[in-house]
């Protein structure tokens, strides 16, 4: 803790972090914190967009494990000698990260495989680091402003859950099997085949995939590939993952995509996202609402996504913000629509209005932004939204549309019936309170935060105006009546009345002008 606080004080974190300082701080704190930053970079509902963009630059350079450590780790995982499983294991790793290291190997049955080996005690080290993060979060929450971070404690809890999933390699093995099963009927999509017999909590054995990195467009062209075809198929399949399967690759960056034998192969399925049928239906409704410039429909879809209590949401403010988003993006041509900017605007607007979106939704948003960057070179001038819309049209049969409408009507009917019953109950309560003289009415005037205070100030000003008028009239009566004492021919009482009326009148005029200038600002 002292070591971490020393590094944190070097970056002066308690006086406010900049995105660059935050990234450099995580890099200096070590691999666990780097991994935390990489996860946070995909969560723009947790961190502001400027921080997320900076965290994508995090370096994950880690000293590779020695061959002896790798072999000892493998021996500890299997009940039989590893010589009875592997015929050969390369000395030089294919890649080395903070959680695991990958080596090319050959099974005794002859298959060439990739072996992903978890670093020894990495989960224990992460647990210790997470425990320290929790302590720091409790302290830092008092110093770091809400404009930079939301709930630091919930952030750390989210990170721990992600770490547990990423360090259980059986989850990745199951993801490989499920992804292959979902795409079994797709001739142009693939992922490594796992070998469940040799997969454990700390080791994944899967097919070794050797292909052309999707970012190497020059090599793809020299091999006769059509870049536009690759881009179109990639986005169409991703639409299937999102909208049909509800199980999508959450990090489709160029390093996780290769082309082999005419197929797009996804690598590293350690980070996957899921969307329920409810979430997928809400997403379709939101897309339709944007196309129709329907702020109310967009609000309804957004509120269905929320995992927080939305009863206190200011609907007038929310609809105004949604109107602004639709004005900005609703008129854009599909080829010009910036999906990343639209999604980030929607996420930031939800956070501003106190709507907490599930992590999967924001993970999907970041994934789409990443995918759009990948296919930009493959499909210049073509919008990812256009391909997504074409996919929906091609896969939504009239029967599916009818079924969707029936489900939607049933859902809306269920909500309406419950709302009607609740309204009747509330009306009965209100009438009972009215007859007992217990009903109070709250006043809410648009454009004011304190309506009763404004009414009180208006009444005070009116009263002062009446007093000024009374003083002026009374002083005039005294003047013409020549009531003594008289000084320089003017009754003293009348003079004082005029003076007080003048001072009060000027005070009222000054207050009115000052408030008028304040409102114009």
Q: What is the DSSP letter of 366?
A: H
Does 3 score more than 90 pLDDT? no
> For the chain, how many residues are written?
521
What is the reported pLDDT for 334?
46
Going through 63-211 in order, the beta strands assigned E by DSSP cover 86-89, 95-96, 100-107, 112-118, 189-190, 203-207
**Per-residue pLDDT band at 149 (split at 50, 70, 90):** very low
Does 182 score more than 70 pLDDT? yes
Does 207 score more than 90 pLDDT? yes
**What integer is the mean pLDDT of 473-483?**
76
What is the reported pLDDT for 521?
60
What is the reported pLDDT for 148?
42
Closest alpha carbon to 209 in 266, 270, 129, 272: 266
Q: Could you tell me the two tokens for 332?
A: 């854009």
Q: In terms of pLDDT, which residue wins out, 430 or 170?
A: 170
* pLDDT, tens digit, 9 for 90 and up, residues 41-67: 766 656 677 887 788 777 656 788 999
How many CA atoms within 13 Å lie on the side-chain side of 261? 6
Which has the minimum average pLDDT: 427-441, 453-467, 489-503? 427-441
Any idea what the Cα angle at residue 463 is, between residues 461 and 464, rounded to 5°? 65
Does 406 score more than 90 pLDDT? no
What is the reported pLDDT for 211?
92
CA distances, 95 to each of 28, 101, 276, 354, 508 (Å)? 21, 6, 34, 41, 76
What is the reported pLDDT for 21?
84
Handedness of CA 244, 248, 253, 255 (dihedral sign): negative
Instruction: Give the best-scoring range by mean pLDDT among 147-156, 322-331, 333-342, 371-380.
Output: 371-380
Q: Could you tell me the two tokens for 428?
A: 């009965």
Does 463 score more than 50 pLDDT? yes
Does 411 score more than 60 pLDDT? no
Q: How many CB atoms within 10 Å of residue 393?
A: 8
What is the reported pLDDT for 146?
46
**What integer is the mean pLDDT of 415-431?**
69
Average confidence score pLDDT of the chain = 79
For residue 295, count CB atoms less than 10 angstroms from its CB and return exposed for 0-12, middle for 13-18, buried for 19 or more: buried
CA–CA distance, 334 with 237 (Å, rounded to integer) = 19
Does 405 score more than 50 pLDDT? yes
Does 195 score more than 80 pLDDT? yes
What is the reported pLDDT for 102?
95
Residues linked to residue 30 through DSSP beta bridges, in sequence order? none
Phi-psi region of 311 (alpha: psi -120 to 50; beta: other; left: phi over 0): alpha
Residues 6 or more apart in contact with residue 169 via CB below 8 angstroms: 100, 116, 118, 199, 200, 201, 202, 203, 204
Residues 6 or more apart in contact with residue 23 via CB below 8 angstroms: 37, 54, 55, 57, 58
**What integer is the mean pLDDT of 140-150?**
50
CA–CA distance, 99 with 202 (Å, rounded to integer) = 10
Contact criterion met (CB below 8 Å) for 93 and 73: no
What is the reported pLDDT for 48?
72
Does 201 score more than 80 pLDDT? yes
Does 415 score more than 70 pLDDT? no
Contact criterion met (CB below 8 Å) for 148 and 13: no
Residue percentage of the chain with pLDDT more than 70? 76
* pLDDT, tens digit, 9 for 90 and up, residues 78-113: 999 999 999 999 999 998 887 889 999 999 999 999
Does 506 score more than 80 pLDDT? yes
Does 260 score more than 90 pLDDT? yes
Q: How many CB atoms within 10 Å of residue 396?
A: 14
**What integer is the mean pLDDT of 174-188?**
94
Task: Name the residue with tokens 């965290």.
Answer: 55
**Per-residue pLDDT band at 407 (split at 50, 70, 90):** low
How many CA atoms within 13 Å lie on the side-chain side of 501? 18
**Per-residue pLDDT band at 308 (split at 50, 70, 90):** confident
Contact criterion met (CB below 8 Å) for 189 and 236: no
CA distances, 18 to each of 48, 54, 136, 137, 139 (Å)? 11, 10, 18, 17, 19
* pLDDT, tens digit, 9 for 90 and up, residues 6-21: 877 777 666 667 888 8
What is the reported pLDDT for 355?
82
Does 333 score more than 60 pLDDT? no
């Amino acid at each position: 803790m002292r070591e971490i606080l020393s590094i944190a004080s070097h970056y002066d974190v308690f006086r406010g972090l900049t995105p660059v300082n935050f990234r450099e701080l995580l890099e200096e704190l070590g691999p666990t914190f780097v991994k935390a930053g990489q996860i946070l970079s995909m969560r723009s509902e947790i961190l502001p967009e400027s921080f997320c963009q900076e965290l994508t630059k995090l370096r994950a350079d880690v000293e590779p494990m020695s061959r002896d450590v790798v072999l000892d780790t493998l021996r500890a995982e299997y009940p039989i000698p590893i010589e009875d499983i592997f015929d050969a294991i390369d000395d030089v790793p294919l890649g080395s990260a903070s959680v695991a290291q990958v080596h090319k190997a050959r099974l005794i049955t002859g298959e060439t495989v990739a072996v992903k080996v978890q670093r020894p005690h990495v989960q224990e080290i992460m647990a210790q680091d997470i425990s320290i993060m929790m302590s720091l979060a409790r302290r830092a929450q008092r110093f770091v402003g809400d404009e930079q971070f939301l709930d630091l404690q919930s952030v750390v809890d989210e990170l721990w859950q992600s770490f547990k999933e990423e360090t259980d390699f059986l989850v990745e093995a199951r993801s490989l099997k499920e992804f292959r099963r979902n795409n079994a009927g797709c001739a142009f999509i693939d992922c490594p085949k796992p070998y469940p017999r040799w997969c454990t909590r700390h080791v994944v054995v899967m097919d070794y995939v050797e292909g052309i990195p999707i970012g190497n467009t020059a090599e793809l062209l020299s091999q006769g590939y059509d870049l536009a075809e690759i881009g179109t198929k990639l986005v169409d399949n991703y639409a299937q993952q999102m909208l049909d399967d509800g199980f999508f690759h959450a990090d489709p960056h160029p390093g996780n995509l290769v082309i082999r034998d005419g197929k797009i192969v996804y690598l590293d399925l350690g980070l996957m996202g899921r969307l329920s049928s409810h979430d997928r239906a809400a997403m379709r409704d939101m897309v339709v609402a944007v196309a129709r410039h329907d702020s109310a429909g967009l609000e309804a879809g957004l509120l269905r996504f929320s995992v927080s209590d939305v009863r206190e949401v200011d609907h007038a403010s929310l609809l105004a913000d949604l109107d602004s988003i639709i004005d900005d993006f609703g008129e854009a041509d599909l080829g010009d629509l910036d999906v990343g900017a639209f999604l980030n605007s929607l996420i930031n607007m939800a956070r501003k209005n106190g709507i907490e979106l599930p992590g999967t939704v924001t993970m999907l948003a970041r994934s789409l932004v990443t995918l759009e960057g990948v296919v930009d070179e493959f499909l210049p001038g073509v919008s990812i939204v256009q391909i997504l819309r074409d996919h929906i049209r091609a896969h939504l049969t009239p029967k599916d549309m009818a079924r969707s409408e029936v489900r939607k009507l049933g859902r809306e009917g269920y909500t309406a019936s419950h709302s009607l019953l609740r309204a009747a109950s509330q009306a009965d309560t209100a009438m009972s309170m009215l007859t007992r003289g217990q009903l109070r009415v709250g006043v809410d005037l648009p454009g004011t935060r304190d309506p009763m205070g404004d009414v009180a100030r208006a009444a005070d000003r009116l009263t002062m105006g009446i007093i000024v008028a009374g003083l002026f009239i009374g002083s005039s009566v005294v003047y013409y009546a020549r009531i003594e004492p008289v000084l320089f021919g003017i009754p003293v009482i009348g003079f004082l009345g005029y003076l007080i009326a003048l001072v009060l009148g000027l005070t009222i005029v000054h207050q009115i002008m000052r408030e008028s200038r304040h409102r114009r600002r």
